[in-house]
Every structure is written in C-alpha cells, then in structure tokens.
A and B are shown apart, each in its own frame.
Chain A
Amino acid sequence: MTQGIYRIEYNRRLTADVWEMRLTGDTGAVTAPGQFINIKLEGLFLRRPISICDWDGEGITIIYKVVGRGTAALSGAEPGQDLDVLCGLGNGFDVSKCGERTVVIGGGVGVPPMYGLAKALQKAGKTPIAVLGFNKKEEIFYEDQFRALGIETTVTTVDGSYGVKGFVTDALRSSYDYFCACGPLPMLKAVYNATATSGLLSFEERMGCGFGACMGCSCKTKYGNKRICKDGPVLEKEEIIW
C-alpha cells in the first residue's frame, strides 16, 4: 500500500449516476486486478473505498456510483484537482488460479474490477468471457470497452430492456472452467449457487481503515477469520460461509 496525491485527469458521467474518473499518480502498489483505493475527501472523516477498474504505469481508472455524500462530492471534483489516495489495497484476483476460459461476472458497480481482470487474464494468455448484469438499458456502461477487448460479452437486464432478460445467472450458458464475480450480495449468492466450477468472489464491507488495522471489516470463512480489506475483498468460493 502507498499513500499519495493523485491528479484528476478526467471525471465524466457514464450513466445518470455512474461516473468514470481517471487519476494520474504512482501505481507501483497495484499488484492485481480487483484491488481497491481509499479516497480522502474534504470534510469527511472516513476514506471511501473504490475498486481499481484499470491501471497502467501512469494512473488508475475508477468507476463509481453516486449513493451518498462522498460519492456526490467525488462527482463534483474537477480535472486538475488533487486527491489523497491510499493505493493498492486488498488482495485482488489471483489470475494464476483462473482457468483458460474464466467467466468474469459483474453486476452494477461490480462491473469495473472485472474489466481490469479481463485484461489481466488476456495478458496471461487466457480467453475470458464476460457476463455483465444491470437493472435496465439506461444503466449499462462499459459494454463497448469489454467488446473492444475482443471478449465474448453478454449483457443482462432485469427488465429485459436490453440483452438477455433476467440476472447474470440466466446468462451463464456458455461453457466455462472457472468464474470470478463482483456485485451486490444477492448476486454473489446466486452466482455461488448457480456455478458448478470453482471461483473467486469479491465482497464489500463498511471500512474503518482499508488496510487491516482496525478489524472493522471482519468476516468468518472456512479458512478462519478474514479482514475484507486486507485478506479480501476477494475470497475463494470454497471458503465462503454465507
């Protein structure tokens, strides 16, 4: 983990309440897709954890949904502004565990980390496929970015206004040998139950620190107690206790 100042390169709206932000700064602490950053915002005591969507030598892309004061403040931030960020938090997805044909499953703002993961899987010579779940057509983002990677991509909408009608689990038809998932808890549970293969799932929890110091984010697993922020957010299917 590192603490650093990151400059906002752009901050643009993707849908009514989802934004994409590019931050330039040191990315040396990023070791795996699915890690997150923790952002300090003026006037708010706790930092806000947001997944790394994509990264390179110069900076990080994040995608966030406006749900409260912190994310609202973030959406008002201007290019050129600096943010105090803890970078490279959490374990992320272990690409070496993934199969040749891993399905990456994202739901809502669980989609962003799956983008960096899909790229990392390709880099490792694997052929991932993607299933992206949204509520309705207007809420879809990043479909084109996934397709631009040349990945077989299926989009689901709960109301059927676009793609496959239903949940991500309704689109898990194509054969796969491993899965990685990030999204709301009910989605993770459904994926856990619907998948026959082994896999990795990324969880959320309210955080005090984000780097393992406060025990604010603990959960029980079959492998023992874990901190979502440090030993997670990614857990193995086999260790999860619901």
Chain B
Amino acid sequence: MVDTSVALSGIRLDNPVIPASGTFGYGAEFAELYDINCLGTFSFKGTTLSPRFGNPTPRIAETPGGMLNAVGLQNPGVEKVIAEELPRLREIFRKPVMANVSGFSIDEYVQTCALLDKEEQVGWLEVNISCPNVHGGGMAFGSSPEAAAEVTRAVKAATKKPVYMKLSPNVTDIAAVARACQDAGADGVSLINTLLAMRIDLKTKRPLLANGTGGLSGPAVFPVAVRMVYQVYEAVDIPIIGMGGVSSAEDVIEMMLAGAAAVEVGAANLVSPFVCRDIIRDLPEAMKKYGINSLTEIIGGAHHG
C-alpha cells in the first residue's frame, strides 16, 4: 500500500489533491457529480467582504493549451457565504475546507478573515494577493514583498487559522515575495495564480475579453508553475501549495518533486469535471510506476543530490 497522505500546518489530508479557488464554486456543482469527500480538501471561490458581480462578459477566452478568465471575483460576499454556502457545504463535505479570501484594502482582508476565523469548517485561509482581474487591490498586494508582508501581518493578527498567502506569477522575483510572507508570519504560500494575458478577436479587432486583459491558466502554464514552485522551495521553509496547469497524477508528482506539499487543480475541473476524482484514483498506480511509497517523502525531491 502506498501512502498518499500529506499534511498542511498540522492538518492531515488523505491526498494532496485540492480543487483550486474559482474552479469549484462552493462545491455544490461537483457534489452532484461525485462524492467530493474523496478530495484532500478544496479551496472555495474567492470571497470578499462585500458581494461582487465581477466583470462584464465575455469573461472567458480559449488559448493554446489553456484559457483566459476575467471573472473579477464574483461572489456573494462573506456574510452570505457564512450564512448560506457553509451550511450547505457541511451537508456535502465532511473535511476542513480552504477559505480563499480577496480584498481591496488591508482592512477588508482583515475583516473577511476575522469572520471566517470563527467558522469551524474552515481549516486554512488562502489569502489571494494575486488576482489579475480586479483593479485597485488584488494583484497590487502581491506585486511587492513589502505589500505582501503587510497583508500577511495584518491577517495573521486577525486569525488563529493557518494562513497561506496566494502569490502572483506576474512579478520578477516570486521567491522574494514568498520570503517576505514567511518573515511576516505566513504559515505557507500557494502559487501560482494566473498569468496576466490577452487575446484579440480578429473579427472585431478588439480584445476578446470585455475586461481587456485576463488570467492565463491550464496546461500551458504548467512548466512556469513548476519552475516557480522550485524557486520558492529554495527560498522558504514553510509549506508550498503548488498549482498551475495540473491535470494528471503525473503532474501532481512533478509539482511535489519541485517542492509542493499539496497541489491544487484549477482549469482542468472546468473541462473535465471528474478530473480530481480521477487523479486521486490514479495516484497510487502512478506512485508505484515511479517507485514512490509515500508522497510526503518526495516533497522537494528534485532539489536533493
């Protein structure tokens, strides 16, 4: 028997597979398809203090090997999430969930995290300082080590839950931002969010997305994500949640060898709704194939020797 379990800040996960924020809603759509209790956990839709409709449509465009999105953090707001989504979630998911939080000011991050801190089912806070699709906030906080550290410190003071800072790949030195988060008290980092990108419609000769730019994700970004996880692993001692283009058990293993303690799966859920269930099913076989007995033992394996 191979061991697929991992741990994130003292909470054990049966396996490292975590559907990524924004691609899994609050779980309900997928619970209609399969028993989502098979997941390690999942990261729910980016939640903000106030309700948000998000950006105008079109919000989605196709790219070679992936997609652009400019959803713009559409969510019902933290109070409704607590009042309506979390009770519904309790019915379909028995495990601790990862609460993904966004904000437009430090104060908003703090207030939202403080409210979620009281929720028993929330295991971890994943603080998104890297959304490329909103103005005046989001990615701005993840763009400099100083701003990232400031959000980290403020959020850490507002919660007892482990805090994972979600980092942007749209920076010159992601390792420096990760280190700043660690120094400011982050329990972990998660990366990467989407890469700032654009498509132009040849018929209208205008950007395809109403927002102009969007975030690129899917298999196309996988090698970029592996490289960044590898670099961040060299720079910090806290756990890394790796993501970006993961769509198979082999990808999970590769991401963990680069340094990820757990792995999120995003865009793949949208086109293959059963992909996380299938990855979890395929992991033991893939581990045997590569002579791996325990996934925990391979974290950062590519750095040794």
Which residues of A line the B interface, CB within 8 A? Answer: 1, 3, 40, 44-47, 86, 205-209, 211-220, 225, 230
Contacts and interface: CB of A to CB of B under 8 A. Distances in A.
Contacts of B65: 45
22 contacts: A3-B33, A3-B274, A45-B62, A45-B63, A45-B64, A45-B219, A206-B59, A208-B67, A208-B267, A209-B23, A209-B269, A211-B29, A212-B29, A213-B273, A214-B60, A214-B71, A214-B270, A216-B57, A216-B69, A217-B60, A218-B59, A230-B29
A233 to B, nearest CB: 13
Contacts of A214: 22-23, 60, 69, 71, 270
B29 A213 contact: yes
B62 A46 contact: yes
B66 A218 contact: no
A45 B53 contact: no
A1 B53 contact: no
Contacts of B23: 209, 213-214
A205 B58 CA distance: 7
B207 interface: no
B45 A215 contact: yes
The 10 lowest CB-CB distance pairs between A and B, nearest first, are A209-B270, A216-B60, A206-B58, A215-B74, A208-B60, A212-B29, A206-B60, A46-B62, A213-B29, A215-B71
A45 B71 contact: no
A217 B59 contact: yes
B32 interface: yes
Contacts of A45: 62-67, 218-219, 267, 271
B270 to A, nearest CB: 4
B301 interface: no
Nearest to A212: B29
B87 interface: no
B104 interface: no
A62 to B, nearest CB: 19
A212 B25 contact: yes
A215 B45 CA distance: 10
Given A45-B67, A215-B22, A208 B74 contact: no
Contact of A218 (B53, B67, B218, B269): B53
B210 to A, nearest CB: 10
Contacts of B66: 45
Given A1-B33, A45-B65, A208-B60, A216 B269 contact: no
Nearest to A228: B57
Nearest to A211: B29
A208 B214 CA distance: 13
Nearest to A86: B273
B30 A213 contact: yes
Contacts of B197: none
B223 interface: no
Interface in B36-72: 45, 53-54, 57-67, 69, 71
A208 B57 CA distance: 12
Contacts of B22: 214-215
A164 B182 CA distance: 71
B230 interface: no
Interface string B238-278: 00000000000000000000000000000101111110000
B24 interface: yes
Contact of B69 (A1, A208, A211): A208
Contact of B32 (A1, A215, A218, A225): A1
Given A208-B267, A213-B270, A215-B59, 7 more contacts: A1-B33, A3-B33, A3-B272, A206-B60, A208-B270, A213-B29, A215-B54
Contacts of B30: 213
Contact of A213 (B24, B59, B64, B219): B24
Which one of B24, B65, B71 has the greatest number of beta carbons of chain A within 10 Å? B71
Contacts of A1: 32-33, 273
A216 B71 contact: yes
A214 B22 CA distance: 6
A206 B201 CA distance: 13
Contacts of B273: 1, 3, 86, 209, 211, 213
B220 to A, nearest CB: 8
A47 B271 contact: yes
A73 B237 CA distance: 48
Interface in B168-187: none
Contacts of B269: 209, 213
A86 B269 CA distance: 13
Nearest to B62: A46
A142 to B, nearest CB: 27
A209 B33 contact: no
B72 to A, nearest CB: 9
A240 to B, nearest CB: 15
A218 B74 contact: yes
A44 B62 contact: yes
